[in-house]
A and B are shown apart, each in its own frame.
Chain A
Amino acid sequence: MNFSRRAMLQSTSCGFGALALNALCSEQVAASSGGGLETRTPTLAARAKRVIFLCMSGGPAHLDTFDYKPQTGQKKHPGSVFRFRQHGESGLGISELLPETAKHADDLCVINGMHADTGIHAQSFLQLHTGDRLRKRPSLGSWISYGLGTENQNLPGFISLNTSKSSIYSSAFLPSIYNGTPIGVNGENMSLATINNVSSDHLPLSTKRRQLDFVQAMNRNHLMQRPADKKLESVIESMELGFRMQSVAPDLLDISTETKATLDDYRVGQQKKSTGTCKVSDFGRQCLLARRFAEAGVRFIEVSHGSWDQHKNHRRDLKANCEVTDAPVAALLGDLKQRGLLDDTLVIWGGEFGRPGLTPEDGKDETGHNSNGFTFWLAGGGVKRGHVHGKTDPTGARAVEGKVHFRDLHATILHLMGLPPNDLKYWHAGREHRLTGPEGGKVVHELFA
Chain B
Amino acid sequence: MRIPAACRTVQVLPIVVGVVFGWVNAVSAADKATISPEDRAFFENRIRPVLVKHCFECHSADAEEVGGKLLLDTRDGLRSGGESGPAVVVGKPDESRIIQAMRYDGIEMPPEQPLPEAVINDFVKWVQRGAPDPRVPVARPDAKTVEAAKTAVNKQDGKPPLWSLQPRTEPAIPEVKNRDWPLDPLDRFVLARLESANLAPTHDADPRTLIRRLYVDLLGLPPTMEDVEKFVSEHELDRVKAVQAVVDNLLARPQFGERWGRHWLDVARYGESNGNDGLGRNPTFPHAWRYRDYVIDAFNNDVPYDRFLAEQIAGDLLPSDSPAERDRHLIATGFLAMASKPAKAMNTNFDMDVVADQIEVVGTGIMGISVACARCHDHKFDPIPTRDYYALAGIFTSTETMWGLAANEKLTASPTDLHVLKAAPEVLPPADFVETVLVLESNTGVPKAIPKPKWPVGTPLAIGVRDKAKPADCKINVKGDAKKLGEVVPRGFVTACGPESSDALKIDPKQSGRLQLAEWLTQPDHPLTARVMVNRIWLHLFGQGIVRTPDDFGVYGERPSHPELLDYLANRFVEDGWSIKHLIRSIVLSRTYQLSSDAPEETLAADGENIFLTRHNRRRLDAESLRDSMLAVSGRLNLEPADGSIIRHRDILVNLAGNLHQPSNHRSVYLCYLRSSLPPELAAFDVPDFTTVTGQRDVSTIPGQALHLFNNPFVIEQAEHFAQSIMKESTNDRDRVRSAFRHALNREPGQNELGQAIELLRLTASELKSDNKAWSSLCQALLATNEFRYID
Contacts and interface: CB of A to CB of B under 8 A. Distances in A.
Interface of A: 4, 8, 11-13, 24, 27, 30-32, 58, 119-123, 125, 136, 156, 164-167, 176-177, 179, 181, 185-189, 195-200, 202-204, 206-208, 210-212, 214-215, 217-219, 221-223, 225-226, 228-229, 231-232, 234-236, 238-239, 241-243, 245-246, 273-277, 279, 306-307, 309, 312-313, 368-369, 427, 429-432
Interface string B428-445: 000000000000101111
A430 B556 contact: yes
Nearest to B375: A134
B710 A242 contact: yes
Interface stretch (B63-71, B188-196, B255-263, B762-770): B762-770
B451 interface: no
A368 B606 CA distance: 61
B427 interface: no
A219 B707 contact: no
Interface string B343-378: 100110000000000000000000000000000000
Contacts of A307: 279-280
Contacts of B773: 202-203
Contacts of A225: 598
B141 interface: yes
B643 interface: no
B106 interface: no
A136 B689 CA distance: 11
B445 A273 contact: yes
A235 B701 contact: yes
B751 to A, nearest CB: 12
B445 A276 contact: yes
Given A11-B37, A234-B701, A32 B52 contact: yes
B552 to A, nearest CB: 8
Given A32-B52, A179-B702, A188-B658, A210 B676 contact: no
A222 B749 CA distance: 12
Nearest to B790: A232
Contacts of A176: 698, 700-702
B658 A211 contact: no
A245 to B, nearest CB: 6
User: Which of A167, A221, A234 has the most chain B CB atoms inside 10 A of its CB?
Assistant: A221
B778 A122 contact: no
Given A206-B767, A207-B777, A196 B62 contact: no
A121 B708 contact: no
Given A122-B343, A219-B786, A430-B139, A238 B701 contact: yes
Contacts, number: 212
A241 B604 CA distance: 29
Contact of B781 (A166, A195, A214, A369): A214
B178 interface: no
Listed from nearest, the 6 A-B pairs whose CB atoms lie closest are: A242-B706, A122-B278, A176-B700, A187-B655, A242-B703, A200-B711
22 contacts: A27-B136, A122-B279, A156-B703, A165-B676, A179-B700, A189-B658, A196-B707, A196-B708, A200-B710, A200-B711, A200-B712, A202-B773, A206-B767, A207-B767, A214-B756, A215-B781, A238-B702, A242-B705, A274-B440, A276-B444, A277-B442, A279-B280
Given A189-B658, A198-B711, A241 B706 contact: yes
A117 to B, nearest CB: 12
B276 interface: yes
B785 A312 contact: no
B684 A12 contact: no
Contacts of A206: 767
A200 B713 contact: yes
A425 B470 CA distance: 49
Interface in B25-51: 36-38, 41, 44, 48
B278 A125 contact: yes
Contact of A215 (B442, B556, B620, B784): B784
A148 B706 CA distance: 24
A226 B786 CA distance: 11
Contacts of A228: 604
Nearest to A166: B689
B248 interface: no
Given A31-B44, A185-B655, A368-B346, 20 more contacts: A27-B136, A120-B342, A136-B692, A156-B703, A165-B275, A176-B701, A177-B701, A179-B700, A181-B704, A185-B677, A195-B704, A196-B680, A196-B707, A200-B712, A202-B711, A222-B786, A235-B786, A238-B702, A245-B707, A279-B280
A238 B708 CA distance: 12
A187 B763 CA distance: 44
A11 B38 contact: yes
B176 interface: no
Interface of B: 36-38, 41, 44, 48, 52, 62, 134, 136, 138-141, 275-280, 342-343, 346-347, 381, 440, 442-445, 552, 555-556, 597-598, 601, 604, 618, 620, 655-656, 658, 676-677, 680, 683-684, 689, 692, 698-713, 716, 752-753, 756-757, 760, 763-764, 767-768, 773, 776-778, 780-781, 784-787, 790, 792
User: Which of B347, B445, B618, B778 has the most chain A CB atoms inside 10 A of its CB?
Assistant: B445
Given A186-B280, A232-B786, A275-B445, A203 B707 contact: no
B704 A197 contact: yes
A2 to B, nearest CB: 10
A238 B706 contact: yes
Nearest to A134: B372
B707 A198 contact: yes
Nearest to A9: B37
A13 B41 CA distance: 9
Nearest to A119: B346
A141 B328 CA distance: 46
B785 A219 contact: yes
Contacts of A8: 37
B126 to A, nearest CB: 15
Given A120-B347, A207-B768, A369-B346, A197 B760 contact: no
Nearest to A154: B703
A204 B710 CA distance: 11
Nearest to A182: B704
Nearest to A205: B710
A176 B698 CA distance: 9
Given A239-B706, A242-B703, A313 B756 contact: no
A231 B702 CA distance: 12
A198 B706 CA distance: 10
Nearest to B135: A31
A215 B702 contact: no
A246 B710 CA distance: 9
A31 B48 contact: yes
Contacts of A125: 278
A177 B702 contact: yes
A164 B44 contact: no
A167 B279 CA distance: 14
A219 B346 CA distance: 54
B556 A238 contact: no
Nearest to A20: B701
B781 A223 contact: no
Contacts of A236: 786
Contacts of B707: 195-198, 242, 245-246
A246 B711 contact: yes
Contacts of B790: 232
Given A156-B703, A368-B346, A276 B442 contact: yes
A167 B675 CA distance: 12
Contacts of A215: 781, 784-785
B659 to A, nearest CB: 9
Contact of A243 (B689, B698, B706, B787): B706
A221 B709 CA distance: 19
Contacts of B656: 187
A226 B618 contact: yes
Contacts of B781: 211-212, 214-215, 218
A210 B764 contact: yes
Contact of A4 (B38, B601, B778): B601
